[in-house]
Structure 1
Amino acid sequence: MKPLSFSIHHVGACTRRRVLAAVLGAGVMAAAWPAQALEVGDTVMLPSLTLLDGKTLPASAFKDRTVIVEYWASWCPFCAQQNPHVQKLYEATRGKPIQIVTLSIDKQPQEAIDYLKTHGYTFPAGMESDAWRTALGKRRGLPELYVIGRNGKVLRKEVGEMFGEDVAALADYAGK
């Protein structure tokens, strides 16, 4: 089969403008779509995060620290099993070069706020945003957890619930 060939020079000026507009429009749309999901070995720059308490965690908070990012939702039963372990990890790693960040995918921030309050969770939590979707790419499940090294490389990725001892072992990534 002969490959399809197309030259914009063979059409009129009006058609060329329409084709160019369509191509540019498609490029803008493609740039707005979330990137492929991050995988182990990929490098990422994390954006700042507005926390549910209204404070901002600046992007500089991730510099020279191992960052653990967890996606969760208040309605997710697997997140409900994992989040107590994330809270224990947060408490155990305070003062160490680890930054824990959790991102809720709830439709309304108040749902996430109520969930955190009900369970007494104090780990840093914000809402998933376009900037975080762009940085981390498309999610594959819940909960979903990333360990990102001080150099911005993804060291570990877990999709689905982790056992308590596995979450606790994430403290071993401090300084990596």
Structure 2
Amino acid sequence: MSAPKLSPLAFKTRRQMALGLGLGALLPWVRAQAQSTSEAALEAMAPAMPRVGDVLKVPPIRLLNEQDFQHERQPLLLYWWSSTCPFCALQSPSMQALWQSQKSRGLRMLALSIDKKSEDAQAYLQKRGYTFPSAWASPEWRKQFAKPKGLPITLVMDSRQKVLLAEKGQMFAEDVEAIARLL
């Protein structure tokens, strides 16, 4: 008994169906593997914004200028950003202005880049002339201190590490300037 003959169209359709079923079964696994180290996966697992009054302990981190940053018992401005974030691009000039006007008054600031590579963050800062203290928040470091959902994120903490301000999304220049009154 011979096998039934299939038209080329029927063969193509069955092959596509078989491939589709095979890939369809693999798709969730492929997605999980692809996103396991992606920024999207980290964002999906990110905690909610801290609330005013929460106490945060910022672990030590190496700044992009190779200096070590250790959070001491002083007020601190934390600013999460990325070189690919359009809202960060609009807010960062205000952060630079705040840094320039307040550093002599004792402003402690830590800008945390979530770029894929520290070199991307360094190039971005250098190109725009930003001098505020920045570090690359590597995925490993973020296991100790997770970035809240959203970007940019701006947090202000008092000397007891208590959150005084927690903002998600772009802040306007006058809102960034008002941070000086909190410190």
Q: Which runs of 5+ in 2 are unaligned?
A: 1-44
Which residue of 1 is the match for residue 164 of structure 2?
155
Which residue, out of 111, 116, 132, partners 1:123? 132
Are positions 1:57 and 2:74 aligned together?
no
Does the aligned pair in 2 maintain the 1:44–1:154 contact within 8 Å? yes
Paired residues for 1:2-151 under 5 Å: 37-59=49-71, 62-63=72-73, 65-129=74-138, 130-135=140-145, 137-151=146-160
SS of structure 2 residue aligned to 1:145: strand
Once residues 149 and 161 of structure 1 are traced to their aligned partners in structure 2, the CA distance between those partners, rounded to angstroms, is: 22
Shift of 1:74: 0.2
Q: Which runs of 5+ in 1 are unaligned?
A: 1-32
Size of the aligned set, in residue pairs, is 138
Which residue of 1 is the match for residue 42 of structure 2?
none
Shift of 1:94: 1.2
Shift of 1:37: 4.2
Q: TM-score under structure 2 normalisation?
A: 0.70
Per-residue Cα deviation, 1:72-105 (whole angstroms, up to 9, x for no partner): 0001000000000000000111122321110000
Does the aligned pair in 2 maintain the 1:67–1:147 contact within 8 Å? yes
* Identity between Structure 1 and Structure 2 (%): 35
Q: Which amino acid in structure 1 is aligned with residue 57 of structure 2?
A: M
Shift in CA distance, 77/35, structure 1 to aligned 2, threshold 3 Å: closer
Once residues 126 and 115 of structure 1 are traced to their aligned partners in structure 2, the CA distance between those partners, rounded to angstroms, is: 12
Once residues 158 and 106 of structure 2 are traced to their aligned partners in structure 1, the CA distance between those partners, rounded to angstroms, is: 10
Once residues 115 and 123 of structure 1 are traced to their aligned partners in structure 2, the CA distance between those partners, rounded to angstroms, is: 12
SS of structure 1 residue aligned to 2:104: coil
Shift in CA distance, 71/138, structure 1 to aligned 2, threshold 3 Å: closer
Shift in CA distance, 93/142, structure 1 to aligned 2, threshold 3 Å: same
Does the aligned pair in 1 maintain the 2:49–2:168 contact within 8 Å? no
Shift of 1:34: 6.6
Larger Rg: 2
